[in-house]
Amino acid sequence: MNLLHSIAQSFAEGVFKLYNQEVDAHEVLINPTKKEFVGDFTIVVFPYSKPAGKAPAVIGEELGQHLVKNSNYVDRYNVVNGFLNLSVNNVFWWECLNTMHQSPSYGLSEKNGHKVLVEFSSPNTNKPLHLGHIRNILLGWSVTSILEACGYEVIKTQVINDRGIAICKSMLSWVKFGGGVTPAEAGIKSDHFVGNYYVIFENKFQEEYKTWQESESGQQLLKEKGIEEENAASFFKEYKNQYFNLYSTLGKEAREMLQQWEAGDPAVIELWTKMNDWVYQGFESTYKNLGVSFDKNYYESETYLLGKETVAIGLEKGVFQKEDDNSVWIDLTDVGMDRKIVLRSDGTSVYITQDIGTAMLRYKDFGTEKMIYTVADEQDYHFKVLFEILKRLKEPYADGLYHLNYGMVDLTTGKMKSREGTVVDADDLMAEVIEEAAAGSSERGELANLSKAEQDAIITKIGMAALKFFILKVQPRKRMTFDPKESLDMQGQTGPYIQNAYVRIQSIFRKGGSFSLLNQSIQETLEPSEKSLLTLLYSFPDVVQEAGKTYDPSHLANFCYVLAKEFHRFYHEVRILGAATEEEKAFRLGICQMTAIVIEKGMKMLGIEMPDRM
RNA sequence: GGUCUCGUAGCUCAGCUGGAUAGAGCAACUGCCUUCUAAGCAGUAGGUCUCAGGUUCGAAUCCUGUCGGGAUCACCA
C-alpha cells in the first residue's frame, strides 16, 4: 500500500535533484485536492520554497514537470499559488483498488507481540448501570477493539466495587424492609432490585433526618452553630454526612454492618454474597445486550488491602516519608502537585494505595507493559498522582500508563442525580432505542417476510447502532449533552445511516453482482465519487492507527460516517449493476465490496454490527 | 484562589501533525421513489471559530493573556 508514498518518493527525489535539498519522503504531505480545484491530490510546496531560493509558483511548476516525467501515476499537474495539484491516471486507481482487495486483513496490523490491559466499566454493586457507565463501557470496549486491530494483545478487565458503605446500605435496607422477597419473586431484574433497596434506604434516611432536624437535638445544633432560621435548610443539606456519621440510627446500623463485614461475620458475608450475586446477574445481561465481555474481574473486596507492603519498599527507597503520627506521605510539590497520603496513621491504606497495589497485581498477573484506565475526568488528578508515584517506584510499566478520561454526560434537563431520580438507566435506554428502531422498521416494511426472530435480531442491531454511534462520535474528552430525542434519531449522522450504506451494498450483491477484478483495466473516466471513495478507503489503515495512538474512537466513527456518506452519493450518481461496460461494472462492484468490508471492520471496532438488510 | 479541561451555525458535533472560499447532522424551506432498499440524494438559508495580542508566506489549529462553562484540590472511594 504505498501508492501515495511512491509519489512522495518521486517528489522528494525531485527536490533533491533540482534544489539539492534532502527531504524524507515520509514528511511529504499529500492531501486530496479540494473540490473547487482541478486534480486528485495536492502537495503544498511552500515549505520547499525558501531552501530552494525560488518562488512557490516556480518550484511548483518545476516539481510538477518532474513528477509527470518520473512518476508512473502522475498524468497532469497545475499550480495555484503554492499548491501543486496532481492528476493521477487510471492505473493508480486500479492498483489502489486491487491492492486493497489482495489484502484480506486490510486495515489490521500484524500482531506486535505487546500486551495491553484495558480497564473499563468499574461499577458499584449497589445500583444498576446508567448512562455514564454506557459511555465508559462503549469507550473502553471500542479502544480495546482498536488496539487489537493495531496488533496488540488486549486484556479486558473491570474493577468491581463490591464492598463499602454503599452496598451495606442496600443490604441493611433489604433486611429491614424487604420481607425476605427475592428478585425472582418480585419479578424485577436483580440489579435493579438491589438498587431499589438502596433508594429505599436513602428515602428512609431522609425521613429520619428530617424528623431529627425538627427534634430538640436538631434545633439545639442550630443554636450551637449560630445558624439563622432562613439558612437552616442549606445548613442541614451540607451537614448530611456528619449527621449520618454522628447521630443517625440507620447510619449507625450501616456502619456496624460494614464493620461486621470487615470482621468476616458469616451471616453478613452470606447476605453480601447473595445480594452481590443478584447484582452480577443483572450486570451480566446488561453487558450481554451491550455486546461486551471481560477477561478478568478484579473485586475491590479482594484488593482493598493491597499496596501496604509496597509502602514499606517506597519508604526504603526514600520515595515516601513517614510522619510522627505514623502516617506515610509522598511529596510531589516539585512537579507541581501536592503532598499526598498513602497510609493512614492507623496503618490502613487509602484509595490510591489500593490502586498502587492493584497495578502491581495486574502486572504480576499479565505482564502487560501498557495499562489503560477508562475513568471519568473528575479523577484526572488522582491518576496524575498515581502515575507519578508508580514512576518514582520505578515500576517497569510506569511509562505505559494511560488515563482514558472522558467528560461527564449531561442531560438536557440538567445533571444526572441518582437521588433525584434523573438517572438514565442503561437497560431502559437500550429498550427504548430498540423500540424506536422497531417502529421505524415496521413503517418501512422491508423486513416483513422475515421470521420474528430474524426481525428482532436486525432491529436490535439498528437500535444499538443508533445508541453506540451517538455516544462514540463525540471525542471522549468533551463533556456531552444527552438529548434522549436525539439519541433515538436514525437519520442523518447516525449509526443506522451507516448501516444503510452497508445494507444497500448487500442488496446489490444479492441481485447478482458477481465480478472478477483480476487482469482487467478500465478505460472510462472515473466519476468524482469513485475517486473519493477509493481515497477514503485507502486511508482506512491510517485512521485505525490514529485512533489507536490517541485512544480515540471518534476518529473512526467520523471516518465511517464520511465513508457511508460518500457511498450514498456514489450510489445515486452512478449505476453499478447497470454500468456501461463489464469492466466498469466489475470496478464499481469492487469499490462496493471494499466499502462494505471497511464499513464492517470499522464499525466492528466501535462495537457496532451490520445487518444484511433493514 | 491554585491546577486541569472545554469554548466552532439556533441545537448536537467534525475539522489529522498550521495550508486554498471553516464542514456535517438536527430543526426550517424546495425538489427527487415506473431504474441497484427514500433510515437515501440534490438544493436554499444559517459563522467576526468567546475576545485581544503574538509567531508565520499562511492560524479555528501553535504561544501568551482575557472572558465564560465544567472538574479537582479528604487520614471518602
Å between A33 CA and B25 C1'? Answer: 24
For the CA atoms of A560, A564, A570, A576, the dihedral, rounded to the nearest 10 degrees, stands at: 100
Q: Which residue is nearest to nucleotide B21 (CA to C1')?
A: A36
| Residues ≥6 apart with Cβ < 8 Å to A113 | A153
Mean model confidence pLDDT for chain A: 93
DSSP bridge partners of A409: A480
Residue A231 is predicted with a pLDDT of 81
Query: Contact, A304 vs A350, CB < 8 A?
Result: no
Å between A175 CA and B27 C1'? Answer: 51
Phi then psi dihedrals of residue A22, to 5 deg: -80, 125
Cell 473486596 sits on residue: A301
pLDDT band at A129 (very low <50, low <70, confident <90, very high): very high
Residue A519 is predicted with a pLDDT of 60
| Residues ≥6 apart with Cβ < 8 Å to A282 | A128, A189, A190, A191, A192, A193, A194
Predicted ipTM? 0.96
Q: Which nt sits closest to A613, CA to C1'?
A: B37
CA-CA distance, A337 to A348, in Å (whole number)? 23
Q: Which nt sits closest to A564, CA to C1'?
A: B40
pLDDT in tens, A459-516: 999 999 999 999 999 999 999 988 888 889 999 999 999 999 999 999 999 997 777 7
What's the DSSP call for residue A117? E
Mean pLDDT of all residues in A444-459: 95
CA-CA distance, A111 to A93, in Å (whole number)? 29
For strand A328-331 and strand A321-322, is the pairing parallel, antiparallel, or unpaired?
A: antiparallel
Q: Which residue is nearest to nucleotide B24 (CA to C1')?
A: A493
CA-CA distance, A338 to A197, in Å (whole number)? 39
Å between A78 CA and B21 C1'? Answer: 19
Q: Which nt sits closest to A49, CA to C1'?
A: B57
pLDDT in tens, A97-113: 999 999 999 999 999 99
Residue A414 is predicted with a pLDDT of 66
The cell numbers describing A385, all together, are: 498522582
Q: Which nt sits closest to A83, CA to C1'?
A: B20
Q: Which nt sits closest to A352, CA to C1'?
A: B77
List Cα–Cα distances, A598 to A162, A208, A469, A539, in angstroms.
Answer: 41, 59, 16, 10
pLDDT at A1 over 60: no
Nearest to A355 by CA among A308, A408, A396, A418: A308
pLDDT band at A226 (very low <50, low <70, confident <90, very high): confident
CA-CA distance, A555 to A539, in Å (whole number)? 12
Q: Which residue is nearest to nucleotide B70 (CA to C1')?
A: A479
Å between A600 CA and B12 C1'? Answer: 25
Which range is most confident: A309-313, A486-490, A563-567?
Answer: A563-567
Q: Which nt sits closest to A566, CA to C1'?
A: B41
Å between A469 CA and B25 C1'? Answer: 13
Measured CA angle at A588 (ends A582, A591), to 5 deg: 145
Å between A28 CA and B18 C1'? Answer: 15
Protein-contacted positions of strand B (CB under 7 Å) = 2-7, 11-17, 19-21, 24-27, 35-42, 57-58, 69-77
Å between A373 CA and B62 C1'? Answer: 29
Å between A560 CA and B30 C1'? Answer: 29
CA-CA distance, A468 to A134, in Å (whole number)? 9
CA-CA distance, A120 to A303, in Å (whole number)? 17
pLDDT in tens, A346-394: 888 899 999 999 999 999 999 999 999 999 999 999 999 999 999 999 9
Å between A565 CA and B24 C1'? Answer: 10
Q: Which nt sits closest to A494, CA to C1'?
A: B25
Mean pLDDT of all residues in A223-242: 84
Task: Give the H/E segment covering residue A194.
Answer: helix A190-214
Q: Which nt sits closest to A43, CA to C1'?
A: B19
The cell numbers describing A226, all together, are: 449560630
Phi then psi dihedrals of residue A403, to 5 deg: -95, 105
Cell 471516518 sits on residue: A559
| Residues ≥6 apart with Cβ < 8 Å to A179 | none
Query: Contact, A147 vs A182, CB < 8 A?
Result: no
Q: Which residue is nearest to nucleotide B23 (CA to C1')?
A: A562
pLDDT band at A339 (very low <50, low <70, confident <90, very high): very high
CA-CA distance, A588 to A600, in Å (whole number)? 18
Residue A419 is predicted with a pLDDT of 59
Q: Which nt sits closest to A561, CA to C1'?
A: B24
Residue A416 is predicted with a pLDDT of 66
Q: Which nt sits closest to A378, CA to C1'?
A: B71
> What does the DSSP assignment read for A418-434?
TTTT---BHHHHHHHHH
Percent over 70 (pLDDT), chain A: 97
CA-CA distance, A542 to A573, in Å (whole number)? 27
Nearest to A55 by CA among A19, A10, A86, A17: A19
Q: Which residue is nearest to nucleotide B75 (CA to C1')?
A: A344
Q: pTM for this one?
A: 0.95
Instruction: Give chain A's length.
Output: 614
What's the DSSP call for residue A26? G
Å between A476 CA and B52 C1'? Answer: 30
Nearest to A551 by CA among A118, A133, A122: A118
CA-CA distance, A134 to A482, in Å (whole number)? 12
Q: Which residue has the higher pLDDT, A300 or A51?
A: A300
CA-CA distance, A233 to A236, in Å (whole number)? 5
- Residue A187 identity: G
Å between A572 CA and B29 C1'? Answer: 23
List Cα–Cα distances, A60 to A65, A122, A243, in angstroms.
Answer: 9, 56, 76
Q: Which residue is nearest to nucleotide B57 (CA to C1')?
A: A46
Nearest to A393 by CA among A329, A313, A336, A337: A313
Å between A574 CA and B62 C1'? Answer: 43
